Chains A and B, each alone.
Chain A
Amino acid sequence: MSVKKLIVDGKRIDGRGPNDLRPIKIETGVLNEADGSAYVQWGGNKIIVGIFGPRECIPKHEANPYKTIVKCRYIMAPFASKDEHGRSGPNRRSIEISKVIREVFENLVVSELYPMTQINIFIEVLQAEGGTRATAITAAAVALADAGIPMKDMVCGIAVGKIDGEIVLDLGKEEDNFGESDVPMAISHRNKEILLLQMDGLLTKEEFSATIDKALDASERIHELQANAIIKRYEKLEIEGLNLL
């Protein structure tokens, strides 16, 4: 139920058409101390991911003798939103998002190669503008590749939603808040598997099918940006650090 018109003359509030993504910048190899890292700027989202591992599993009782275990921590900075200063540390929302992102990568990491170990995915949201989990998954996939961790497939995140009765790609913050429906997904590149699927709001079966098609189409574009970031990583000898601008 929208109060404000989100689509006027075929244009969305930020001027995009229904199939347009926000501008995306992906950089990898941005941190010195982490085993792998990536920075993704996606519209107004700014997210850093650092990877450690495979390394000794702590606490030891969590270790699995047959495979590595993937751990994921998604967290939002208290200054990440335009409104009030938030609380630091995890909350119910961030714990759920950490879990669903972890499950994406449990499907991809070739885990039987590293028994008794853990792989940590640390996700820090420095600035949020709707679609942080899609941005986080896109960044984490690149960071894992940077860490040299074998994966069966590459993955990216993308949210598709319904605003003013129309199915559109990549919801911004206001579209997310005032739109009718929001479907964040993670799509693997080679096998076209849906590794994350959540939904909020109402859709008919036909609309839902169109939603998935839009995500599959967009994932090709995002994958290309991820691949280019990884290629670019090997053009430089040293880590120059972050460029948050």
Chain B
Amino acid sequence: MSESAKDIAMHDIKKGILLDLLVKGQRIDDRAFDEYRPISVTKGVIDSAEGSALVKIGKTQILAASKITVATPFSDRPKEGIFNVNCEFLPLASPNFESGPPNEDSIELARVTDRGIRSAEIEGNNQITANFFMEEGKVLALYLDIYVLDHAGNMTDTASLAAISALLNTKIPKYSEGVLIRDEFSGKLELKHYPIATTFVKIGKYFLVDPTKEEMLAADTKLTINTTQNSQIAAIQKTKGALSKDEVLEAVDIAFKKGEEIRKYIR
């Protein structure tokens, strides 16, 4: 999204205020630099969806819901199911969000969330769609909608946690002769990997996890690292400014630690 004059002024003002505190080892809400805000995960909140979860990190609230349908496979991948992640920045979530088609930020968020989940493979297959081949010309398609309801910072980690929680809550409707029987289920969606996103912002030389809206506004650089429970990095996205190799590797160490902490909320 293009930056307005107001955004640029706010960046400078906020950065000044936050840096004064960071030098003294403090954050504006008294958290440690590597501390998350309170996290809550509620699964199964939408009955019309095959799986769903409402996740709150601090005052940020995001809903993820999955729907499964029968689809025709892509012609170059006739045996593969379809997995599609879409993200909506609902206009009620922030005074700065507008109605209309997805903008570059919401598309980026959807794609980063998608990559985190998709890159955790099982024997070369995307772990979501591994068992989605039904018969010649028929596969299952899973649509995962990420609904940002309240944006108070760090949408990336909240969305990622909501996505994985909704997938773990997903039941697959029974397939019979080309259609789905929606009241009967063939089983739960099985996941082998639980990728968790950890997002950092760099303000001056300081690294902070789980940035609030104000900290995001003041940030020079943002970095998201997805980690799996067996110590693999699943996907990375850096936005805006620059980082050194040491900084990136230090962030990876913290991401593994945080990933393990957060994974407790989805089990």
Contact = CB atoms under 8 A, between A and B. Distances in A.
Interface of A: 31-34, 37, 44, 46, 48-50, 52, 55, 73, 77-85, 88-89, 120, 122, 124, 126-128, 239, 241-245
B65 to A, nearest CB: 4
A52 B61 contact: no
Nearest to B59: A32
B120 to A, nearest CB: 23
Contacts of B94: 33
Given A55-B95, A79-B49, A128-B48, 4 more contacts: A31-B149, A50-B92, A50-B93, A84-B69
17 contacts: A31-B61, A31-B93, A32-B152, A37-B92, A46-B46, A49-B92, A73-B99, A78-B143, A85-B67, A89-B101, A122-B91, A124-B92, A126-B147, A127-B48, A239-B59, A241-B150, A244-B54
A241 B61 contact: yes
Contact of A33 (B66, B86, B151): B151
Interface in B64-93: 65-67, 69, 86, 88, 90-93
Interface of B: 42, 44-49, 52, 54, 56, 59, 61, 63, 65-67, 69, 86, 88, 90-95, 99, 101, 141, 143, 145, 147, 149-152, 182
Contacts of A33: 59, 93-95, 150-152
Contact of B95 (A52, A83, A128, A239): A52
A78 B48 contact: no
A149 to B, nearest CB: 15
B92 A122 contact: yes
A49 B195 CA distance: 32
B60 to A, nearest CB: 8
Given A122-B92, A128-B48, A78 B150 contact: no
Contacts of A37: 92
B235 to A, nearest CB: 24
A82 B183 CA distance: 9
Q: Which among B46, B48, B49 has the highest number of chain A CB atoms within 10 Å?
A: B48
A77 B240 CA distance: 32
Contacts of B90: 50, 122, 124
B132 to A, nearest CB: 15
A79 B145 contact: yes
Nearest to B98: A58
Contacts of B47: 44, 82, 127
A48 B152 contact: no
Contacts of B56: 241
Nearest to B92: A50
A234 B91 CA distance: 25
A243 B90 CA distance: 18
A132 to B, nearest CB: 12
Nearest to B52: A79
Nearest to B40: A241
B266 to A, nearest CB: 17
Nearest to B144: A79
A34 B48 contact: no
A46 B44 CA distance: 13
A101 to B, nearest CB: 14
B149 A78 contact: no
